[in-house]
Amino acid sequence: MQYVIIDLEATCWKNVMDFTKMEIIEIGAVKLAGDTLEVLGEFSCFVRPVVNPLLSDFCKELTSIRQQDVDAAEIFKVVFPRLLAWIGEDDYKIVTWGNYDIKQFEIDCRRHGIELPEKFITQHINLKKEFAESKQCRPCGMKRALRLLDIPLTGTHHRGIDDARNIARIGQELLK
Domain ranges in the chain?
2-174
d(CA 21, CA 116): 19
Check if 157 is active-site.
Answer: no
**Of 124, 133, 158, 173, which one is the catalytic site residue?**
158
| Alpha carbons 74 and 171: distance in angstroms, whole number | 30
Tens digits of pLDDT across the chain (176 residues): 999 999 999 999 998 878 889 999 999 999 999 999 999 999 999 999 999 999 999 999 999 999 999 999 999 999 999 999 999 999 999 999 999 999 999 999 999 999 999 999 999 999 999 999 999 999 999 999 999 999 999 999 999 999 999 999 999 999 87
Looking at residue 140, its pLDDT comes to 97
| Helix, strand, coil tally for the chain in percent (to 5) | 40, 20, 35
Active site residue 173: no
Fold observed for domain 2-174: Nucleotidyltransferase; domain 5 (3.30.420)
Query: What is the model's pLDDT at position 16?
Result: 80
Could you say which of 9, 74, 89, 124 is catalytic? 9
Q: What is the pLDDT of residue 18?
A: 83
How many Å apart are CA 105 and CA 109, to the nearest integer? 6
Give the contacts of 163 (CB within 8 A, at least 6 positions apart): 7, 28, 97, 142, 155, 157
Distance separating alpha carbons of residues 82 and 43, to the nearest angstrom: 9
Report the amino acid identity of residue 67: Q
